[in-house]
Amino acid sequence: MIGLLASLCLAAAPGICAERLLPGDCDPDRAAAWTAAHPGLTLRGSRCAEAGDVPALTVEQVAPGVFVHTGEVALASPENRGDIANLGFVIGETAVAVIDAGNTRAIGEALYGAIRARTALPVRWLVLTHMHPDHVFGSEVFREAGAEILASDRLPAALGARAESYTDALTRQVGPEAALGSSLVLPDRTIPATETLDLGGRTLTLATHPTAHTDNDLTARDSATGTWFLGDLVFDHHAPSLDGSAPGWITVLASLASQPAARVVPGHGRPALDWPAGAAPTAAYLEALVRETRAALDAGESLGTASAHVGSDLADGWQLFDDFNARNATAAYRELEWE
């Protein structure tokens, strides 16, 4: 028994319903209490859930005890149900740590299902690499399973500032059924610099970083295998997305690339990359973006003129380039014009 499956519907649209997993015991009173704490939903019933009753994400073991789910390189949509980010977990001798929770509650539940298909050990920690919705909307599932949610000490303010817009956008992007039950939760504890988690027989070292992809980036390194979860500090195939500082990101990547790792797990793209070679495409894109933006500023170009062409010749090797490059150019211009 891994929990309770609650049959839930939208109060405003009773025809839109889905089952959602409540990890833990099978007391039906839990379903009523959970529904009461989530306005906008109604409860139709509940049933006990075995491991096989819950969809499980496909995961790949990239190193002993280290598992990664590869999200689709795409924008969130009803077709992919928001499954667009790489997620992972590390199984120790006494505990499990999860790295990122996915874009919806349903994805978080399916990640939990993948864990339970492999171990009954307690899920002690959920580590969030940054505040973007495709990495955090599944978090509540793991809190309910008993995990402590950990993140950079700058994540609560960043996520809080965008919580309403992220929540509104999710339903538009993936549809009301896929988004049903999804809500944002803040971390239980924040990490100002570094912390080491003991999973039994292996440790996971967490580290925060100066502003780069965002102002709240955090990485997690497994001691047993040298696997380094870098979140969106490294993109693979998926065009980079700038939501922090372009020069800062370049500096952080250079620092990371100077440190050895057996492999790294990027936030998007393939499940594992060689290191430091895996940093090169992201770094090259950012360096060119900064170089071209500074040239546009030196030429006196307006934001509109610059953002229309800066980086436009960098598309080779990147999917979703047209969805992100102009936005990145705009962000870089607004940052660098004050140098």
Q: What is the pLDDT of residues 238-274, one digit of tens each?
A: 999 999 999 999 999 999 999 999 999 999 999 999 9
Does position 51 have pLDDT exceeding 90, yes or no?
Answer: no
Please count the other Cβ atoms lying within 10 Å of the Cβ belonging to residue 114.
Answer: 19
For 331, phi and psi rounded to 5 degrees?
-65, -40
Closest C-alpha among 27, 57, 49, 62 to residue 222: 62
Q: Which residue has the tokens 């546009």?
A: 296
Alpha-carbon span 298 to 226, nearest angstrom: 43
Tell me what the mean pLDDT of segment 63-80 comes to.
Answer: 99
Residue 113: strand, helix, or coil: helix
Which H helix or E strand runs over 8? strand 3-10
pLDDT in the model for residue 167: 97
- Mean of the per-residue pLDDT values for the chain? 98
- What are 226-242's pLDDT values in tens digits? 999 999 999 999 999 99
Residue 250: strand, helix, or coil: helix
For 81, phi and psi rounded to 5 degrees?
55, 25
C-alpha triplet 243, 244, 249: angle, nearest 5°? 115
Please say whether the beta carbons of 129 and 87 come within 8 A: no
Q: Which residues contact 333 (CB under 8 A, 6 or more apart)?
A: 293, 296, 297, 303, 306, 307, 310
Closest C-alpha among 136, 133, 213, 129 to residue 173: 133
| pLDDT over 90 percentage in the chain | 97
Q: Which residues contact 167 (CB under 8 A, 6 or more apart)?
A: 182, 183, 184
Does position 205 have pLDDT exceeding 90, yes or no?
Answer: yes
Residue 53 confidence class, pLDDT cut points 50, 70, 90: confident
Alpha-carbon span 239 to 268, nearest angstrom: 9
- What are 130-164's pLDDT values in tens digits? 999 999 999 999 999 999 999 999 999 999 999 99
Please say whether the beta carbons of 271 and 100 come within 8 A: no
Domain residue extents for the chain? 1-53, 55-276, 286-336
- What are 101-124's pLDDT values in tens digits? 999 999 999 999 999 999 999 999
Alpha-carbon span 155 to 178, nearest angstrom: 25
Tokens of 41: 């939903």
Residue 34 confidence class, pLDDT cut points 50, 70, 90: very high
CA distances from 59 to 55, 108, 113, 235, 255 (A): 12, 13, 11, 19, 29
Considering the segment(s) 55-276 as one domain, its CATH architecture is 4-Layer Sandwich (3.60)
